Structure 1
Amino acid sequence: MKLVVLGLSLSSSWGNGHATTFRALLKSFARRGHQVLFLERDVPWYAGQRDLTAPDWCRLEFYEGLPALDRWRDEIAAADAVIVGSYVPEGVEVARRVQGWVGGVTAFYDIDTPVTLAKLERGDHEYLSPAVIPGFDVYLSFTGGPTLRHIETRYGAPMARALYCSVDLDLYGPRDVPIRWDLSYLGTYSDDRQPTLERLLLEPARRRPDLRFVVAGPQYPPGIDWPGNVERIEHCPPADHAAFYSASRFTLNVTRADMIRAGYSPSVRLFEAGACATPIISDKWDGIETLFRPDQEIVLADGAADVLAALDSDAATMGRAARARIEAAHSSDHRAAELEAHLGEAAKHKAITRPTETAEG
């Protein structure tokens, strides 16, 4: 299969989870024998923070603005499948061009599904509009569960399928490093996650000054009252994630409000930490029990007392169970096989529902 992907970023993981998601998925997809071209809008923010410029498992090319995208028209038209990702600059116009040019299957990969749907309800069409959704043969969503049916019925997507994030087991696994922290958190600042971080990490840190905590990630504003036993790391690049998690007795997962409301919206930190056999403490939302078994593979916490009880328990058994779950269901190889199946299903559906268009294409 020849696949073209137009995504927010493959080259820079700074301040976004898209790059690591695409890297893991497309590396495994290419390993299945497929050819991948990734087209990334060349923007100053990511250009100055690139940590991957020449992947050996796909072609990475940059374009400057919509007119420059015309250079890739023939490759898009000849591809077996083309994926447009969420938060692509001028994404609606990118979608219109792709849908007008493509001869194969078109897919929208929403790495931000609850955020996207909330924006659509507000009439905010920053990177997706209701008008272009029916033109995608399949809507691939970071959120599963009831949201998939909503995308089909409310917005006319011919097919909506879950394609969760995953982890590259070549890069993530237990590391032989000293334990530095009792509880860690890795994530970019967001207003709606901060109250949960306060409840599940900062408050436990205040109650237990004998324990060690860390928060790693950019964009935290000045004025946050960091307890003295909470270390701050401004940026932890993907190459250091495995060592970061392995140096943590437990790690924390905090979910954005839109994703809690939707449910079935796992963060990549769940899979990365689990792959490193690091036990996870998480906030609660519908569907998390379909990914990990509570009290066996993950701890679900409401408040500081739950966190502190977990920190006083033996972590080793839960960490091994989390690793086993990742190996069984959540590696990038699993997701690549799912992507291949979804694109194949979409191609068959397109041939049935649009036979004349398909024949002419």
Structure 2
Amino acid sequence: MNIAFYGSSLLSSYWNGAATYYRGILRALAERGHRITFYEPDAFDRQQHRDIDPPEWAEVVVWPATPEGLAGVLAEAGAADVVIKANGVGVYDRELLEGVLARAAPHALRIFWDVDAAATLDEMRRDPAHPVRAALPRLDMVFTYGGGPPVVAAYEGFGAKECVPVYNALDLTTHVPVPPDPRFACDLAFLANRLPDREARVEEFFLKPAALLPERRFLIGGNGWADKPMPGNVRAIGHVGTAEHNAFNATPLAVLNVARDSMAEVGFSPATRVFEAAGAAACLITDAWVGIPMFLEPDREILVARDGQDVADHLAALTPERARAIGAAALERVRHEHTYELRAVIVDRVLHRLAEARREVAA
């Protein structure tokens, strides 16, 4: 199928945590025979911080973040068999959603792909006129980045015809074990952009353990942390491009995952870094959220912390030998059960089922 995908950015992870998710799932869909065109705005300096060149498996259209640029990319929606609007583009989100629905061909499938479902649903509860809520009757499907049964029930409660979670996964082509890199040497590393609904949890699960273990070395990567007060044993290194993620994950004794508030509350929402770290055979410590055993087994493939004290206790007890054993077990699990190739099978089946139902109705 010819898929037109309107999202934040495929080429840059700069202030764009969904980049590796998009790359993994869309590459795997392309390998199954789908033709992908990804439309991303020239916004937030992302084009000046590209992580990859345009890939062979997708055509990437970078459009000016202007009314004229918006009109140009919306005009192309009518040529697709599937039009997909992702949330969080950052500019013209309402206009993009309404525009692709209006301009899609009569036979085309219309899909909303929510990479921040818990937050979107909170907005919809507060705003009866929310654009996604208004669009649901005209959408054939909602895919979500995660969220499990609670998100499915909530979306269907708002009137979605169908909602299917498509979880983050391991991209076998990009996330692999690599030798340690001295630039990332530390006891605990954490990689995420600074966002308001994550900051308090970072203070609890990362900065508190750093204060409790002053003799240990901590490393934080991502945008926005430069002016954040931190203990003296924490080193902030700013944006870490995706080409360096393997070394960032493979070098420290352990790597930390901290969910955003809404994702932790709803559960079933493993971040991209969970699978990136596992793919590099890292020993991962995560904050606690419902659904972890669906993806990795606690105490064998991942360490789970209820609070900052738990993180400090895990780190104090962790030996290099146990860290390597946990990382190896996690790598084995995700290679067999959580790859983007497996996620793409789910999406592919849904697309073909919906297309067949559309043809039957037309006939």
> Fold match, TM over 0.5?
yes
* Map 1:125-144 → 2, pairs under 5 A: 128-142=131-145, 143-144=147-148
Q: Tell me whether 1:119 sits opposite 2:123 in the alignment.
A: yes
The aligned residue for residue 168 of structure 1 is 171
- Post-superposition CA distance 1:53-92 (Å, at most 9, x none): 4222110012234544454567532322121100232223
* Map 1:224-263 → 2, pairs under 5 A: 224-263=228-267
CA contact under 8 A between 1:92 and 1:125: conserved in structure 2? no
Instruction: Give the stretch that moved more between structures: 203-212 or 237-246.
Output: 203-212
Cα deviation, residue 238, structure 1: 0.5
Residue 299 of structure 2 aligns to a residue whose secondary structure is: coil
The aligned residue for residue 33 of structure 1 is 33
CA contact under 8 A between 1:263 and 1:285: conserved in structure 2? yes
- Post-superposition CA distance 1:108-152 (Å, at most 9, x none): 1100111111122222878x4311122111100122222102201
The aligned residue for residue 4 of structure 1 is 4
CA–CA separation in structure 1 for the residues paired with 2:357 and 2:266:
27
Q: Which amino acid aligns with 1:232?
A: A
The aligned residue for residue 303 of structure 1 is 307
Cα deviation, residue 178, structure 1: 5.0
The aligned residue for residue 339 of structure 1 is 347
CA–CA separation in structure 2 for the residues paired with 1:277 and 1:265:
20
Q: Which amino acid aligns with 1:81?
A: V
CA–CA separation in structure 2 for the residues paired with 1:58 and 1:109:
18
CA–CA separation in structure 2 for the residues paired with 1:178 and 1:74:
47
Matching residue within 215, 218, 227 for 1:210: 215
Residue 282 of structure 1 aligns to a residue whose secondary structure is: strand
- Post-superposition CA distance 1:151-206 (Å, at most 9, x none): 0122x111100011223111111111257111110001123322322222222222
Aligned residues: CA RMSD: 2.1
Q: Which amino acid aligns with 1:131?
A: A
- Post-superposition CA distance 1:17-36 (Å, at most 9, x none): 12221112112221222211
CA contact under 8 A between 1:92 and 1:132: conserved in structure 2? no
- Post-superposition CA distance 1:205-247 (Å, at most 9, x none): 222222211011111262x332222111111010100010011
Q: Which amino acid aligns with 1:220?
A: W
Instruction: Give the stretch that moved more between structures: 85-94 or 322-331.
Output: 85-94
Residue 236 of structure 1 aligns to a residue whose secondary structure is: coil
Residue 49 of structure 2 aligns to a residue whose secondary structure is: coil
CA contact under 8 A between 2:222 and 2:239: conserved in structure 1? yes
The aligned residue for residue 157 of structure 1 is 160
CA contact under 8 A between 2:205 and 2:311: conserved in structure 1? yes
Q: Tell me whether 1:219 sits opposite 2:219 in the alignment.
A: no
CA contact under 8 A between 2:38 and 2:60: conserved in structure 1? yes
CA–CA separation in structure 1 for the residues paired with 2:357 and 2:160:
12
Closer, same or farther: CA 139–301 of 1 in aligned 2, 3 Å: same
The aligned residue for residue 49 of structure 1 is 49
Closer, same or farther: CA 348–33 of 1 in aligned 2, 3 Å: closer
CA–CA separation in structure 1 for the residues paired with 2:330 and 2:208:
26
Q: Which amino acid aligns with 1:245?
A: N
Q: Which amino acid aligns with 1:170?
A: T
Instruction: Give the stretch that moved more between structures: 196-205 or 232-241.
Output: 196-205
Aligned length: 352
Cα deviation, residue 250, structure 1: 0.8
CA–CA separation in structure 1 for the residues paired with 2:61 and 2:202:
37
Cα deviation, residue 321, structure 1: 1.1
Cα deviation, residue 306, structure 1: 2.1
CA–CA separation in structure 1 for the residues paired with 2:138 and 2:94:
11
The aligned residue for residue 270 of structure 1 is 274
Q: Which amino acid aligns with 2:135?
A: V
* Map 1:66-77 → 2, pairs under 5 A: 66-72=67-73, 75-77=76-78
Q: Which amino acid aligns with 1:39?
A: Y
Residue 4 of structure 1 aligns to a residue whose secondary structure is: strand
CA–CA separation in structure 1 for the residues paired with 2:127 and 2:136:
14
Q: Which amino acid aligns with 1:210?
A: E
Q: Which amino acid aligns with 1:239?
A: A
Q: TM-score when scaled to structure 1?
A: 0.90
CA–CA separation in structure 1 for the residues paired with 2:200 and 2:248:
23
CA–CA separation in structure 2 for the residues paired with 1:244 and 1:307:
19
Give me the identity figure in percent. 32
The aligned residue for residue 322 of structure 1 is 330
Cα deviation, residue 5, structure 1: 0.6
CA contact under 8 A between 1:2 and 1:81: conserved in structure 2? yes
Matching residue within 98, 101, 126 for 1:99: 101
CA–CA separation in structure 2 for the residues paired with 1:347 and 1:6:
20
The aligned residue for residue 180 of structure 2 is 177
5+ unaligned residues in a row in structure 2: which ranges?
Answer: none
CA contact under 8 A between 1:108 and 1:139: conserved in structure 2? yes
